[in-house]
Chains A and B, each alone.
Chain A
């Protein structure tokens, strides 16, 4: 199997994962509605409650963006579990293609949809009044940091999906992992406003560092150690879960 063949097969399988978005309007709408709903509910409604609409939008949107992106990392493992469950995976395995192509296609396709989701979320954010106050370089750095973090989590998701008995159990498992990460963080509420134990967890939680990094990189203010801590987490998660996912994958495709 030459590298060129492997790449071509990976691209074909990326296409295969993205083309349903074009086939079925429902799929695309579902993908776009999630960021829109989350922003409307958390940013607009909570903002209106707080009285200071524009200040709330500036504070909350980076957090909601983090949560939207986090939720979407489930897709990677969920689709892998589906492919295993309904036999598509076996079809690929019985064919003379690179063993890595199906996993590569999945990750590439999910990175593409994640980029789209982040772009839509920022667009919707700007409609409800969110303004980036920093330099384009800092803003791009923020987007890159978010994408790198979700890619790292995508490998965790892949690992869970490859181990799960079914797509449904993958979804349950992933939700159990994501909820404390997503809501036990400073994405929406500052740690200072939390009760003791939760505060301790929120300060430890990598998602807090990510959300705080994004706030600084998009709206200004001291970046501090948050970006470095987030980068550290990205490296640690990637170093841990890429080998785990690849090993589980190798066992499943044998």
Chain B
């Protein structure tokens, strides 16, 4: 059996809004595909199509070898869905939620109970198992939601922003669970707004922005594409001016970090000395400057923002704010 996910030219419109505009996705069996993008990029729409919840307006998608529009029942037997849209029943306890799903999937009463017990243990929900889910904290709900999606031991798992809004400790716990599923041989499609998450978990990343794929590749490939090295400076003053000079010298949009560090990809080895000279000429004092490999964060910005069109273009800055918020 092939646990693959393939989508070609997916199109989805809501009224006159185009949520997906020809998206191709591919996840090899047993791999993790990270679908990365800001809010409203179309990530959730893509997951909903692949999980047979909505039909595409164009394109084809096969999950586990089955066409999502022609054989949705076959697809549903293979998948587990978790995240923003699949949810738990608030009025049931954690244990009852797990029992219900087990029974719906055809387990007998005793096996369903055993399965629930097992998942309660693995997800650290022992103390909350007999409380109604509406009393759970955000992190506990996500854990329960993920546990519920694993009751049927699905071979293909869709996780739609499973860790959005969670604190780092809970995120790390959920990452462990994702890694366990990969070790078990499951194929995972994970959407996220967090670059770090995609970097940590994904074998391959597809970057979606406004319904279109803007880049794809392994985390390393994406980092490489953003430039071999980056010039980082920390000006003592006149940060705006320094940023403008870097943009002029490199022709790319610099990224300004919260710590006052301005960085920009440098493809040509002659550029850093030139940039430093220009900054010196302008009388800008640097408390720090360095050349280093890019982070995925910077790769993302460089790929989404493409070449700088002067400093009036705030799209990339806004995208960065949304993610850091």
Contact = CB atoms under 8 A, between A and B. Distances in A.
Given A90-B86, A94-B76, A94-B79, A254 B55 contact: yes
Nearest to B80: A94
Interface residues of B, number: 30
B52 A93 contact: yes
Interface stretch (A16-24, A55-63, A186-194): A16-24
B104 interface: yes
A12 interface: yes
A176 interface: no
A102 to B, nearest CB: 10
A90 B96 contact: no
B77 interface: yes
B305 interface: no
Given A16-B100, A20-B92, A91 B106 contact: no
A91 B86 CA distance: 5
Interface in A76-90: 86-88, 90
B317 interface: no
B105 A96 contact: yes
B132 A94 contact: no
Given A12-B100, A19-B96, A23-B132, A95 B89 contact: no
Nearest to B97: A16
Interface string B96-117: 1000110111100000000000
Q: Is the interface of B mostly helix, strand, loop or mixed?
A: loop
Interface string B108-144: 0000000000000000000000001000000000000
Contacts of A16: 89, 92, 96, 100
B286 interface: no
Contacts of B85: 87, 90
A201 B325 CA distance: 58
B164 interface: no
Nearest to B132: A23
Contacts of A254: 54-55
A87 B86 contact: yes
B73 A96 contact: yes
Q: Is the interface of A mostly helix, strand, loop or mixed?
A: helix
Contact of A95 (B87, B93, B104): B104
A213 interface: no
Contacts of A19: 91-92, 96
Interface residues of A, number: 26
Contacts of A13: 100, 104
B105 A90 contact: no
A9 interface: yes
Nearest to A102: B104
A134 interface: no
A5 interface: yes
Contacts of A101: 104
A80 to B, nearest CB: 13
Highest count of chain B CB atoms <10 Å: which of A5, A13, A15, A95: A95
B78 to A, nearest CB: 9
A96 B77 contact: yes
Given A5-B106, A87-B84, A91-B81, 19 more contacts: A8-B106, A9-B104, A13-B104, A16-B89, A19-B92, A23-B91, A23-B93, A23-B96, A88-B88, A88-B89, A90-B53, A91-B87, A91-B88, A91-B148, A93-B52, A94-B76, A94-B79, A94-B81, A96-B73
26 contacts: A5-B106, A8-B103, A8-B106, A12-B100, A12-B103, A16-B89, A16-B92, A16-B96, A20-B91, A23-B96, A87-B86, A88-B87, A88-B89, A90-B81, A90-B87, A91-B86, A94-B51, A94-B79, A94-B81, A95-B76, A96-B76, A96-B77, A97-B104, A97-B105, A101-B104, A254-B54
**Pairs of residues from A and B, 6 with the lowest C-beta to C-beta distance, nearest first:** A87-B87, A20-B91, A96-B76, A94-B81, A12-B103, A96-B77
Interface of A: 1, 5, 8-9, 12-13, 15-16, 19-20, 23-24, 27, 86-88, 90-97, 101, 254
